[in-house]
Structure 1
Amino acid sequence: MSWETIFSLTNGWALVSWLALAAAPRNPKILALILYLGVMLLCLAYAIMFGGLFFGGWGPSKTPDLTTLAGVMALFDSKGGAVLGWTHYLAFDLFIGMWIARDADQKGFSRIVQLPFLFLTLMVGPIGLFAWLIVRDRRSRAQAAKAK
């Protein structure tokens, strides 16, 4: 299987999971499906690619030193390394998106309010998380003040 095919498959799988997170009912069964069929399968794909690239001879003959910028750049300079890194982003961004959705539900945010944060997390993960942390802090403080 080519790296382009793996890239397309992981992207498609992540998109289906994100659509389910945004549009499907958030009952425990749906959330479990997103976690185990979405996040976990992306993690499994990552683990297989990592093993192949670093121990199975799928990548460069010399394993890059990931403790240096030059080593990380060498890894991402290959198709396999780029797909590996991208799958890492997809898995973690989806996991963070799930956390945001659950947290927003618990704090009483409507789905329409959640969508921009989920979209930002999908597209530019840390910015979406940063924005959500700011908004959730304000809601948490307001809820705490009401409780007093």
Structure 2
Amino acid sequence: MWEQIFGAANLLAMIAWVVLILGPRREIVMRALFFGPMLMLALGYVTGLTLVLTGAVPTGGGANFASIEGVRSIFSSDPGVTIGWVHYLVFDLFVGL
């Protein structure tokens, strides 16, 4: 399941980047990118992060944001890597916009 989420997020971000790079610089296009792919990715990130923080999604033992070991533990699992990657996709697309 996490592999499919990872792939879908990548595809969505790539489509958004192609439109951003090759599309017209009109306000309607920028708004469509912001309220379309970027919002979808951001909602996916917030949902995934909430699942990790509440313990609904299993990550490595000792997962927390208070220490480097805890963060390393989060990124040692497929859910943690996928959620972290979606975070980067959202942030980069936001900066690109």
Matched residues in 2 for 1:61 and 1:76: separation?
8
The aligned residue for residue 128 of structure 1 is none
The aligned residue for residue 5 of structure 2 is 6
The aligned residue for residue 32 of structure 1 is 31
Matched residues in 1 for 2:24 and 2:3: separation?
33
The structure carrying a bigger helix percent of its residues is: 1
SS in structure 2 at match of 1:59: coil
Tell me if the contact between 2:6 and 2:82 (Cα under 8 Å) persists in the aligned partners.
yes
Report the TM-score, using the length of structure 1 for normalisation: 0.62
- Name structure 2 gaps, 5 residues minimum: none
Aligned residues with identical type, % of pairs: 30
What is the deviation of 1:14? Answer: 0.3
The aligned residue for residue 65 of structure 2 is 66
Q: How many residue pairs get matched? A: 97
Query: CA distance change for structure 1 residues 9 and 31 in 2, over 3 Å: closer, same or farther?
Result: same
Report the TM-score, using the length of structure 2 for normalisation: 0.92
Q: Which moved more, 1:7-16 or 1:33-42?
A: 33-42
Between 1 and 2, higher relative CO (CA 8 Å, sep ≥ 6) is seen in: 2
Matched residues in 1 for 2:33 and 2:94: separation?
9
The aligned residue for residue 47 of structure 1 is 46
Moved >3 Å (runs of 4+) = 60-63
The aligned residue for residue 81 of structure 1 is 80
Aligned-residue CA RMSD in angstroms?
Answer: 1.5
What is the deviation of 1:56? Answer: 5.2
- Name structure 1 gaps, 5 residues minimum: 99-148
The aligned residue for residue 21 of structure 1 is 20
